[in-house]
Structure 1
Amino acid sequence: MTTQNEFSRCVAQYDPHALPVSAAQAIVREWAAPVAAVERVALRDALDRVLAADVMSPIDVPSHDNSAMDGYAFNHAALTNGAPAVELTIAGKAFAGHPFVGRVGAAQCVRVMTGASMPDGCDTVVPQEVVERGADPASITFSADAVGQGANCRLAGEDLARGHAALRAGRVIRASDLGLLASLGIGEVNVRRRLRVAFFSTGDELRSVGEPLDPGSVYDSNRYTLFAMLRRLNLDALDLGVIRDEPAALESALRSAAANADVVLTSGGVSVGEADFTRQLLQTFGDVAFWSLAMRPGRPLAFGRVWSGDRPGAGRPALFFGLPGNPVAVMVTFYQIVREVLLLMSGATPQPLPVIRAASRQPIAKRAGRTEFQRGIAGQDAKGDWHVTPTGSQGSGVLSSMSEANCFIALGHDEGEIAEGERVSIMLFDGLI
């Protein structure tokens, strides 16, 4: 079996001490094997699940030619006599679910409502707004150039033809998809089982909400943000609590997590001075591809694989992400490194996060050689042009900067100082967080 390190060293710019973000993303993406198990669920339980197979349409949608608006259905050939206006006799009416019975003659039309089946012999609908009713209530007149052939008629299978794919495997099912599946008469779909992600925080100073704060202790916020971010992805989140800074306790927690989850996320314990300990511990029953990124915030980030047994290859494997301890760094590394991997392992086909170019309203300090994700408040001016302002202090422990912001300001690896008015890339939180 190829090890993490063997693969990692094949990646351009591989440097486990300070890996460029793009290289780190390539490494973790390569090791994101989708879960194989498939479940069949009812339509109402399928929202935000990942389709395991293409859904083929069992019927044509629409199932019959029908009117796209209220008006009069007729045979367009009736307009070919060269007269500037045409007069048609109304042969009857058709409503959605109540079709007109019989064939329509060349000089006849049928009053139709939106969604009504097109009567036999008709291929065009003239809108009711452009016709005139004369002294004879059983006839209509309108200009011969009012409509072209086939106008305002929806053909059977126009939206979706029988036997064609309605939804593709790897799609995260949305509300509109539920409606589409219901319109096909489909009540159950095959989906991938939910990815199981175990997470815990490390640190003797951490206290859970509800516990008293001792001198020097702080409340653990990272487990709550991790839980929320995992819940947004509709994953099975296993909260293992706070683990003390003890090798035996950490080893036990990691092995237990690997035995019960596909991915293990920890926060804290991988910063300078502690990374060697984590690396050595994991090497006894796993391996580590990298442990530091050329990224701010989020430089200390360990990635590898952990096994539930006492050595690599023994027991059950799980991917491992050792996230930083600072709250903002946890969120940034999750969204920029971990999120896509979780989607891939869920069987989804993730789309690139939308990036918008916006003018910075103030200078931004930045040095080349690392990627930075600053928090910002973005908006649009009267002309629709985007602008962004950093949210004050960008410290990785200032969680309020995430709450105040509505976007990441993404500054590339090779970018330097940003002048006021210079355009930068932003990633809006809407749809992400």
Structure 2
Amino acid sequence: MTVLRSVEEHQDAVAALFTPPEIVETAVADALGLVTATDVVTAVSLPGFDNSAMDGYAVRAADLTGASPEHPVTLPMAADIPAGRTDRLTLTPGTVHRIMTGAPLPDGADAVVPVELTAAGGFDPVDAPAPEVVFTAPVPAGKNIRAAGSDIVAGEVAIPDRTVLHAPQLGLLAAIGVTTVPVWRRPRVVVLSTGSELVAPGQELRHGQIYESNSPMLAAAATEAGASARSVRFVPDDVDGFLARIGEIAGEADLIITSGGVSAGAFEVVKDALTATGGVEFVKVAMQPGMPQGCGRVTDPSGRTVPIITLPGNPVSSLVSFEVFIRPPLRTALGLPPHRDQVTARLRGAVRSPAGKRQFLRGVLAREGDGWVVDPIGPPSSHHLRYLAGANALIDVAPDVTALDDRVDVQVMQLD
């Protein structure tokens, strides 16, 4: 009698293959989606100088005390300050400087009056500056000024350790002048499918052949998880050809994923080849789909050992196995949250599950009122890729549960 390994036991075996993440210095432009490995401290303040928040006039607030429509204050304009002007100016009492948004505030100025609140007219670059500006209202000190360091001060942490770098974080890094950032390196994942029946999409199919879909699907799943992943040309059911292909790709991989060739049939090339070389264990896991599994290490030409995870060949089994076994430790190796969001949903429709096996059913998850509902979609067979493509959740049924109906809550792992 075959002893089945539990899902949890195989998850532990796969996770043990992953080594601690490597920290690399990466250009900010290439760091999207990566995770910071240290705090990033800013060497500059933002803003780096007091500057104008408006197109208008830099003034001394005291000069406009008592200004009103009945008693306007008229002041001569002594200078123009466009954004990007680098010389330092001083505002003489009783004068104003015309200033643009983002331009440095002159010393002595403590407020900016928007141009539309004056009688000087608009900013026409062809016109000479108005010699005098009329103000009809006072302005409080500090008005329309972006104070130096009001966003962040030099020496503060700009981006904390273990932050996922998205567009706003990359914008902040650029704004403080950072060009490279220490991050956890993306693992290099190579995906290889096996099977003499496989044909590349675009070629003509002969009787008994199918288009190869697992490697692009698994490479996409690894890329979505955060890895640097690629699929390579599949190999036929030939032990020597398979081992030669593994030798070719092992030197450029941190993880190899194969699909197919791990069951109990007569032409299980992955199982036959790697059993002979040792270092890889093949087991049956108490789950549906995805019972035949394998994991271990192979040796590259330099003698370095590389983790290899061998998945079943049926497409649904293959992707579900990736979700259950590979995605969590792969995300952990990147410093990312390992698990997808989980919610409790009301199941619409009855479900039957085999005793002793943890079942992962495809489902369509949706909000209903204040809660979630999930509809099972498609039969449980592992070749129905269409229904996997139409699902947005996996319904996780515990091994000791054989039947569920619409009155029972289930845990749902979202796929999108």
Change (3 A) 1:247 1:98: closer
Q: Deviations over 1:217-243 (max 9, x none)?
A: 322211221233344445142504123
Q: Is the 8 A contact 1:243 1:253 kept in 2?
A: no
For residues 91 and 353 of structure 1, the distance between their equivalents in structure 2, rounded to whole angstroms, comes to 65
The CA RMSD over aligned residues, in Å, is 4.7
Query: Counterpart of 2:253?
Result: 261
Per-residue deviation, 1:265: 0.9
2:367 to 377, 380, 383: 380
How much has 1:154 moved relative to structure 2?
Answer: 4.7
Q: Aligned match of 1:180 in 172, 183, 187?
A: 172
1:118-151 residue CA offsets vs partner (Å, 9 max, x unmatched):
665677889999x999xxx84454799xxxx978
Give, in whole Å, the separation in 1 of the partners of 2:56 and 2:347: 54
3-state SS of 1:264 partner: strand
- C-alpha contact 1:307 1:315 (8 A) present in aligned 2: yes
Q: Counterpart of 2:291?
A: 299
- Equivalent pair of 1:71/1:128 in contact (CA under 8 Å): yes
How far does residue 366 in structure 1 lie from its aligned partner after superposition?
Answer: 4.8
Per the alignment, residue 325 of structure 2 pairs with 337
Q: Please point out which of 33, 36, 61 is paired with 2:19.
A: 33
Matches within 5 A, 1:30-429: 30-34=16-20, 36=22, 38=24, 41=27, 43-48=28-33, 55-66=40-51, 96-97=83-84, 101-102=89-90, 115=102, 117=104, 120=107, 138-141=134-137, 154-167=146-159, 173-189=165-181, 195-232=187-224, 233=226, 235-244=228-237, 246-272=238-264, 281-282=273-274, 284-288=276-280, 291-308=283-300, 315-345=303-333, 348-355=334-341, 357=343, 359-360=345-346, 362-367=348-353, 370-381=357-368, 385-405=371-391, 407-411=392-396, 413=398, 416=401, 417-420=403-406, 422-429=408-415
Cα distance in 1, alignment partners of residues 319 and 398 from structure 2: 19
Paired residues of 1:373 and 1:408 also in contact (CA < 8 A): no
- Measured after TM superposition, the shift of residue 263 of structure 1 is 1.2
Letter in 1 for 2:286: A
Kindly indicate whether the alpha-carbon contact (under 8 Å) linking 2:23 and 2:182 is maintained by their aligned counterparts in 1: no
| Aligned residue pairs, count | 394
SS of 1:156's equivalent in the other structure is coil
Q: Is the 8 A contact 2:349 2:376 kept in 1?
A: no
CA distance in 2, matches of 1:285, 1:378: 44
| Separation of aligned partners in 2, 1:128 and 1:28 | 66
> What is the Cα deviation at residue 328 of structure 1?
1.5
Distance in structure 2 (CA, Å) of the matches to 1:111 and 1:427:
59
- Give, in whole Å, the separation in 1 of the partners of 2:76 and 2:412: 61
1:104 and 1:389 map into 2 onto residues whose CA distance is 74
Residue by residue over 1:402-427, the C-alpha shift from the partner in whole angstroms, topping out at 9 and shown as x without a partner, is 2222x213425367444326544444
Check 1:124–1:302 CA distance in 2 against 1; reply closer, same or farther (3 A cut): farther
What is the alpha-carbon distance in structure 1 between the residues aligned to residue 397 and residue 37 of structure 2?
35
CA contact (8 A) 2:53 2:144 kept: yes
Query: How far apart in 2 are the matches of 1:240 and 1:393?
Result: 31
Cα displacement string for residues 185-233 of structure 1 (whole angstroms, at most 9, x for unaligned residues): 3344566665332322223333333444343332221122123334444
Q: Which amino acid aligns with 2:384?
A: V
Mapped partners of 1:426, 1:72: distance in 2: 59
> Could you tell me whether the CA contact under 8 Å between 2:340 and 2:415 is conserved in 1?
no
**1:408 partner letter:** A
What TM-score, normalized to structure 2? 0.72
Pick the structure with greater CA Rg: 2
Secondary structure, aligned partner of 1:250 = helix
Residue 152 of structure 1: CA displacement?
6.9
**Percent identity between the two aligned chains:** 32
Q: Aligned partners of 1:112 and 1:413: how far apart in 2?
A: 68
Inter-partner Cα distance in structure 2 for 1:372 and 1:116: 63
Q: Distance in 1 between matches of 2:414 and 2:113?
A: 45
Does the Cα contact within 8 Å between 1:287 and 1:304 map onto a contact in 2? yes
TM-score normalised according to structure 1 size: 0.69
Q: Shift of residue 24 of structure 1?
A: 3.6
CA pair 282-60 structure 1, distance change in 2 beyond 3 A: same
Deviation at 1:324, TM superposition (A): 1.2
- Greater shift in the superposed pair: 327-336 or 159-168: 159-168
Tell me, in whole angstroms, the C-alpha distance in 1 between the residues paired with 2:60 and 2:281: 70
User: Partners of 1:51 and 1:101 in 2: how far apart?
Assistant: 40
The alignment partner of 1:291 has SS state of strand
**3-state SS, counterpart of residue 303 of structure 1:** strand
Q: CA deviation at 1:379?
A: 3.2
Task: After superposition, give the CA deviation of every residue in 1:80-134 in whole Å (9 maximum; x if it has no partner).
Answer: xxxxxxx9998979775469944698x99999775455665677889999x999x
Looking at structure 2, the residues matched to 165 and 326 of structure 1 have their Cα atoms a distance apart, in angstroms, of: 48
1:17 aligns with 2:4: yes
